[in-house]
Structure 1
Amino acid sequence: MTSPSLQERFARQAALTPDETAVVLASGELTYRELDERANRLAHRLLDLGVRPEEPVAVLMERSAELVVAILAVVKAGACYLPLHSAYPPERIQRIVDLGGGTVLLTDHAMRGRGLPAVEHTVVVDTDAATSRAPAHDPGRPGHPLALAYLMFTSGSTGEPKGVAVTHRDALALALDSCWDGGAHERVLMVAPYAFGMSTYELWVPLLRGGRLVLAPEGQPTAPVLRKAVEAHGITVVHLTAGLFRVIAEEDPGALSGLREVMTGGDRIPPAAVGRVLAANPGLVVRAMYGSTETTLFATQSEMRDGYEPGDSVPVGRPLDGMRAHVLDERLRPVPSGETGELYMAGAGVARGYLARPALTAERFVPDPFGPAGTRMYRTGDLVRHTPEGLIDFIGRSDSQVKIRGFRVEPGEAEAVLARHPDVAQIAVVAEEAARTGERRLAAYAVLRPSARSEDPAGTVDSLRAHARRSLPDFLVPSRFTVLDALPLTVNGKLDRRALTAPAAAEDGSAGAAAPAVRSGLEVLRTLYADVLGVESVGPDDDFFELGGNSLLAIRLISRVQAELGAELAVPVVFDESTPAALAAHLDREASPAGAPSASTSP
């Protein structure tokens, strides 16, 4: 009989394979029996605290075995988990907790020193004595397919994050889809932040199928990290955002050797990158994935194998087993094959809606005229067409929503936050694409109040950036800030967004000329910074991230540094030593006695 809930499906799997390894981490392993018993104890602790059915339980932890225990325990208690990203500003974390409305926070010892949101009960999972004394048997909370499994907050156009309510039925439909059959998804590397939709795949597909969940180190994975994980743990599959997939494909596609499958998506997938990865790894499957939090992560997929010939685009494929795709015009009529329409997704993966946002829910989750009475479909806002082969091909957006580093972003949220700065009279935030690197980023254009205009534009930009960072996650903080006398308008008096992005195109167009001969390791770094960022030049004390850098570009920089200077770096080092001069000093300190090149001396 089909299990109606995540906890019941897991209990069935744990009974079938109690002594098989379920979770792998640097310090050891957990079997299915051990994971089950630890989650049962924590579930009893939650029930003792009065957690009710469907009540959100916030989770703020490092990537660890305790994290997996915590999430499983929440669903075993009949509640729904509310994952929080530790990199979010405290103000945003607190706001998400307040919007969720739960009374319990699960955290760990490592997070206690970073500041925790205010809730009625905080349980430090890895040191909680009451949990260790709780019973190890299953609490036996009944599951229902339409009960909430988790709440996940995404960017909102009004400046307020919105919580997507996902049910057990939705998550089970994804985890049990037939596209994971065949053995390629036996050992899954968990690399995504658990506060984002990808964790639904990374957690539940292996754990509900008797597979093995391998926890990657904290932070964005680099090519060396991926290579070591595959070799050490026999990883069979990994999911990389389209941006990271492109970086790995260009810098070191051989890092994916040994995998059976690589999944990618979240943005446009470069066909040339797919070709490079397949050419470097014969027998590998690259699977393009498409979906959103509102469709429980994945809604469509397509496979690419040996013999793939890159075209103009990578289609996002066909619907998963329980999903239905409709390409419709503005009157909800199907459009002919080859013509552009808006994509609507229906089926088991369509979420319940947005928490406490009935108007927005009604706008995006609409009645399905093609399905049984009472069913709904999700209006994606994506413009697509059907190819002659019947695949869905992504064309663009019908609104301002964009993808930044794989994250779905509403520029309006950044605008709303920046508009609250006391010096801002008008603000516009737009997405732009660097011509050389292809990286998409946000750019902010501000008109200041007369009383705030000064001779210190750099100080004004610093103030705006600091204001944004206090409330917004990193991927929503604009990479560029420009102060204008007035925002450009069209002849109809509306904001001319095309005119705003023109300076970026000119800036990128001026970059990319051949670098002059370098004389020192510091100058090598300055040249690499400029090349990776797509700017004409970089000074010794220019900050990588204030020039538009991000974690994906940091990975590209690390690869170039290794190729040019023979030095290995981790992503956090680039965040901590973010100027060429600081990074050069770090490389000098770390230079090996065997004669690794110094960054401050001639190569």
Structure 2
Amino acid sequence: MAALSIPARFAEQLARTPDATAVTEAATGATLTYRELDRRANRLAQHLIGLGAGHEDPVAVLMERSAGLVVAFLAILKAGAVYLPIHESYPADRRQWVVDRAGAKVLVTDAVTRAAGLPSGVPVVDVNDPALDGEPDGEPGVTVHPGQLAYVIHTSGSTGLPKGVAVTQQDVVRLLDDPQWTPERYERLLLLAPYAFDIFVFEVWLPLLHGGRIVVAPPGRLEPTVLRRLIETHGITGLHLTAGLFRVIAEEAPETLRGLREVLTGGDVIAPTAVSRVLEVCDGLVVHATYGATEATVLSTSQPLTAETPIGTTVPLGGPLTGVTIRVLDDRLTPVADDAVGEIWLADGGLARGYLGQPGLTAERFVADPFGAPGSRMYRTGDLARRKAGGVLEFLGRVDSQLKILGFLVEPAEVEATLAGHPGVAQAVVLARELDNGEKQLVGYVVPQGGRLDVAAVRAHTRTRLPDYMVPSAFVELDSLPLTANGKLDRAALPEPDFDQAATSRAPETDLQRTLCGLFASVLEVAEVGIDDSFFELGGQSLQAMRLLNRIRTELGVDVVINALFDAPTVAELAAYVDAQQTAA
């Protein structure tokens, strides 16, 4: 198939199925056919062009997950521009930095997000503004070439600031045309990921370019009970879950995934026990293990797993997608033998153009390919692996200090720089702590500038500068950082955070409080919890919150939405909420 731009491929699908449903909004039931989606996108594209957005101009997107989000992404590409998603959890300073650094021409938003505050210095368009109905709904007449950029997604950067990965449209089309993705399995795909996360590219464009339907999940985080309801109500056939979320659902409520035809998972180590459990409970399901990098257009390998697939002690990364070359090299860039450990380098199909406005960093990570044609490049992933018999890869960890937290790649140096920016902090080191259940938490080790450390102030400082997933779950105060005999940081000597010391509040007074204290302690892997202890101050994060809510449902028969836990994070507060729910029932 000849290379085409995303708008050109969408136009082909529009011609085939103009009256088929393209988008369903689960929260409202609203739908858009392919024709209606096209017309809404054309109106917005005309308006963006009128505001000066054109060839490869970044257009920022900051809004809730909705059908309008799909309209916005398609419209931006139809205008010949580049969509620049801004993570909804970004603090205000970080949002402003991304908009300013990229030189965004326009910001597309919605009423809810606009009311909460937006970056300044850029024209703002509400995707649902009735005034857009006055724009022409025909094609904007912009020639979009396959080699043009499609989007710029920002990831954590080692310099203390995020870096923008710039990906072309032809590489998105190449990914979605891979024969691994059977359109029937993704006939109705759930749009679930944060839109500033690279897998969102797969969730939006795979169904739209192959005649499927996007079902847009409601805004916010989804607990397993809501996910199960969405799958049943909308007949979802395919979705993506990060490795961490997949593990939580597999261990807590695997029946959630019944009725699906395929589940994609990856972004971190995939637990083989989780795969086995899901395949045991969900008849006919295919679990598609994947591996990739934002710098190589989302996905580079895949491994379909079924009930008939032998599941060993590790889940392999699988083989390369069409057009992708995977090399496992030693530190001299020499291919290693099968079963030997080396670093993964990606070449050929899917490589990003580079980091927006950072030629030095681009040259450092995208290097000349000594095995390829003149002018070809390869990308250093920083991931360790070994190639097994048959060519499949087995992931073994990282070469550098980068971490995967909730599916996001985090540079500890960026978090450390933010902590060190607080006036009360002299030195800071950030590590990941792995729980018994395989989930990871960030821990910040801090040497105060003088006197005692005000942990609450440091946490608040960090939250105003970093997204939630980059804020340490725990802070450990040290008199000094431990050093080796050579004067280097002795990471092995850094102590484990003692969350049990935080549990010093009142003992439970009712049966409900005792039950919740036990559930908090079990999920957080601490010995004891008092009724005034906060779930999040004891190190809890979103995946553990999902475990807690599922266990509350199992033990007490009460569905607690995740936002309620954020509003009532202590046992005492949550007990009052649960009691009110039980009384109302």
Identity of aligned residues (%): 53
On the 8 A contact 1:288/1:316 being kept in 2, the answer is yes
Which of 520, 529, 543 is the aligned partner of 1:552? 543
Once residues 503 and 29 of structure 1 are traced to their aligned partners in structure 2, the CA distance between those partners, rounded to angstroms, is 50
CA 1:211 to 1:371, structure 2 compared with 1: closer, same or farther past 3 Å? same
Partner of 2:443: 443
Amino acid corresponding to residue 447 of structure 1 in structure 2? V
C-alpha displacement at 1:592, in angstroms?
4.0
C-alpha displacement at 1:144, in angstroms?
1.4
Once residues 152 and 470 of structure 1 are traced to their aligned partners in structure 2, the CA distance between those partners, rounded to angstroms, is 21
Structure 1: tracts of 5 or more residues without a match? 595-603
Deviates more, 1:585-594 or 1:194-203: 585-594
Structure 2: tracts of 5 or more residues without a match? none
> How does 1:291-440 map onto structure 2 within 5 Å?
291-434=292-435, 436-440=436-440
Partner of 2:496: 503
C-alpha displacement at 1:437, in angstroms?
2.5
> How does 1:424-573 map onto structure 2 within 5 Å?
424-434=425-435, 436-450=436-450, 453-454=451-452, 457=453, 460-500=454-494, 502-504=495-497, 520-573=511-564
CA 1:122 to 1:531, structure 2 compared with 1: closer, same or farther past 3 Å? same
The SS at the match of 2:419 is helix
For normalisation by structure 1, the TM-score amounts to 0.94
**Residue 7 (structure 2) pairs with residue 7 (structure 1):** yes
Once residues 580 and 352 of structure 2 are traced to their aligned partners in structure 1, the CA distance between those partners, rounded to angstroms, is 51
On the 8 A contact 1:169/1:348 being kept in 2, the answer is no
C-alpha displacement at 1:518, in angstroms?
9.7
On the 8 A contact 1:432/1:442 being kept in 2, the answer is yes
C-alpha displacement at 1:386, in angstroms?
0.5
C-alpha displacement at 1:367, in angstroms?
1.2
RMSD (CA atoms):
1.7
Once residues 416 and 10 of structure 1 are traced to their aligned partners in structure 2, the CA distance between those partners, rounded to angstroms, is 43
The SS at the match of 1:102 is coil
Once residues 589 and 492 of structure 1 are traced to their aligned partners in structure 2, the CA distance between those partners, rounded to angstroms, is 59
Partner of 2:259: 258
The SS at the match of 2:303 is strand
Amino acid corresponding to residue 425 of structure 1 in structure 2? A
On the 8 A contact 1:347/1:377 being kept in 2, the answer is yes
On the 8 A contact 2:3/2:170 being kept in 1, the answer is no
**Residue 127 (structure 2) pairs with residue 134 (structure 1):** no
Deviations 1:468-500 (A, max 9, x none): 001000110001101110110111100111111
The SS at the match of 1:218 is coil
Partner of 1:598: none
Which of 90, 101, 121 is the aligned partner of 1:88? 90
C-alpha displacement at 1:550, in angstroms?
1.0
Partner of 2:18: 18
Aligned length: 579
**Residue 213 (structure 2) pairs with residue 212 (structure 1):** yes
On the 8 A contact 2:508/2:531 being kept in 1, the answer is no
Once residues 186 and 364 of structure 2 are traced to their aligned partners in structure 1, the CA distance between those partners, rounded to angstroms, is 36
Once residues 438 and 518 of structure 1 are traced to their aligned partners in structure 2, the CA distance between those partners, rounded to angstroms, is 33
On the 8 A contact 2:508/2:530 being kept in 1, the answer is no
Once residues 509 and 571 of structure 2 are traced to their aligned partners in structure 1, the CA distance between those partners, rounded to angstroms, is 14
C-alpha displacement at 1:432, in angstroms?
1.5
C-alpha displacement at 1:219, in angstroms?
2.0
Once residues 43 and 246 of structure 2 are traced to their aligned partners in structure 1, the CA distance between those partners, rounded to angstroms, is 39
Once residues 226 and 90 of structure 1 are traced to their aligned partners in structure 2, the CA distance between those partners, rounded to angstroms, is 30
Partner of 2:178: 177
The SS at the match of 1:559 is helix
C-alpha displacement at 1:383, in angstroms?
0.6
Once residues 398 and 521 of structure 1 are traced to their aligned partners in structure 2, the CA distance between those partners, rounded to angstroms, is 47
Deviates more, 1:180-189 or 1:151-160: 180-189
Partner of 1:47: 49
Amino acid corresponding to residue 330 of structure 1 in structure 2? D
Once residues 30 and 105 of structure 2 are traced to their aligned partners in structure 1, the CA distance between those partners, rounded to angstroms, is 32
C-alpha displacement at 1:2, in angstroms?
2.5
Once residues 283 and 545 of structure 2 are traced to their aligned partners in structure 1, the CA distance between those partners, rounded to angstroms, is 28
The SS at the match of 2:260 is coil
Partner of 2:121: 119
